[in-house]
Amino acid sequence: MPLAVEPTLDLLSRGAQFLIAIGSVPVRPEIFPFDHPKIYDSDTILDIEGLPGKMAAIGAGVIGSEYACTFAALGTEVHILDGRDALLPFLDAEVSCALAGMMERSGIVFHWKEQVRTWVPAASGGVALSLLSGGTLNVDAVLVAAGRKSNVVTLNLGAAGVAAGEHGVIAVDEFCRTNVRHISAAGDVIGFPALASTSMQQARLAVRHACGTDLMCSSSNLLPTGVYTIPEVSMAGHTEESPVRDGVGYIVGRAPYSSSARGRIIGDSDGFLKLLFQRHDMKLLGVHAIGEQATELIHVGLMALLTGSGAELFDEACFNIPTLGALYKVATLDAMTNGAARSQLSKPNEVLVLAGTRSQIRSCAAPAIWPNWEC
């Protein structure tokens, strides 16, 4: 039987090394009464007893977007409200823009640069939200996905000298050690990306280092990101904004799912794979995928990143057909073609693939390759 410990119980633990990995809890803005039967956070939404006809998701982060896609797929009219102007801004901007377009085509309505000012019970039994823009949104249910905070309230970290920042996030070094070197932390308590996969990897790194078994090289800190929206999105390595910001010459290669027999078999005409290569040696910098099984597809690129490989690996490798994995060869050949054309530019560092602000970014080739893709 597991040991149940009351949060108010004082415990004294002794040890040479400690690992803090107690997860997180939803942030609950004071404006919302979470005892109301139609207002949920990202945990209590799992207890909903029926599908609402119309739902407002407050927050366009990972959790809010994933739930929004799920409810939309089940037939709910979903409205997402967010104070920002871009979806999941940690993603490559082109992928973020493509995902927003696909979600909109599934029926999801975005309200950008918007916030809830007040709420009142609606006559229909739902909730009426008064917005900062002056509008009103009447819904049957509200999902508040305003982020999560470290579950460290009861730990009394100060007594151990461990510093915690905003939302209880604990700062750590490359070995997941806190400012108190014999105390490590991993997972949601150290903040982004706060995924199950990355949390496990962080804990393994922390434990190995604490036990003096430093078998993991620095490349182990290269972690993939998977977002289970509909469609899935995944990435590893640099986004296209990184080399632009750092002034690094790069080449982009793309492969639409529609160019793959497997993509056509599974009926995904909108997904695509995007690879970023360092221009002077064609070393892989980043890999991005959106579409069916994107979180599986990303692992091929992740292995290449971990081994410092580049275009030659994908060009020479033989991929099974039909598979989505074969898109790596297609995207690589596209990058090599783009590189040959780009070498003729009078300004070798000129960027061809970005135009305008983040919310306006488009691929120059996108209209021709993906006619249904809109930004």
CATH 3.90.550.10 fits 231-369, yes or no: no
Mean pLDDT over 296-325 rounds to: 96
At the topology level of CATH, where does 16-224 sit?
FAD/NAD(P)-binding domain (3.50.50)
Q: Which residues of 15-42 are buried (b: 16+ CB within 10 A; e: fewer)?
A: eeebbbbeebbbeeeeebeeeeebbbbb
**Please, which pLDDT band fits residue 338 given cuts at 50, 70 and 90?**
confident
Of residues 24 and 290, more confidently modeled: 290
* C-beta neighbour count of 127 within 10 angstroms: 23
Distance from first CA to last CA of the chain, Å, rounded? 54
Model confidence over 211-224: pLDDT tens digits? 887 665 554 568 89
What pLDDT, on a 0 to 100 scale, did the predictor assign at position 254?
Answer: 97
User: Are 57 and 64 within 8 A, CB to CB?
Assistant: yes
Mean pLDDT of the chain: 86
- Decide if pLDDT at 368 tops 50: no
At 354 the pLDDT is: 37
**Residue-wise over 285-305: b if at least 16 C-beta within 10 A, else e?**
bbbbbbbbbbbebbbbbbebb
Q: What is the pTM of this model?
A: 0.83
Q: Taking the domains of the chain in order of start, what are their residue ranges?
A: 16-224, 231-369
pLDDT score of 375: 43
The pLDDT tens digits for 347-367 are: 444 444 433 334 333 333 343
pLDDT on residue 343: 58
pLDDT tens-place string over residues 1-29: 344 444 555 677 778 889 988 888 999 99
Q: Amino acid letter at 337?
A: T
**DSSP-assigned letters across all residues of 170-202:** BP--TTSB-SSTTEEE-GGGG-TT--HHHHHHH
Say whether pLDDT at 98 is over 60.
yes
- The residues near 88 (Cβ < 8 Å, ≥ 6 apart) are 60, 61, 62, 65, 96, 99, 227, 233
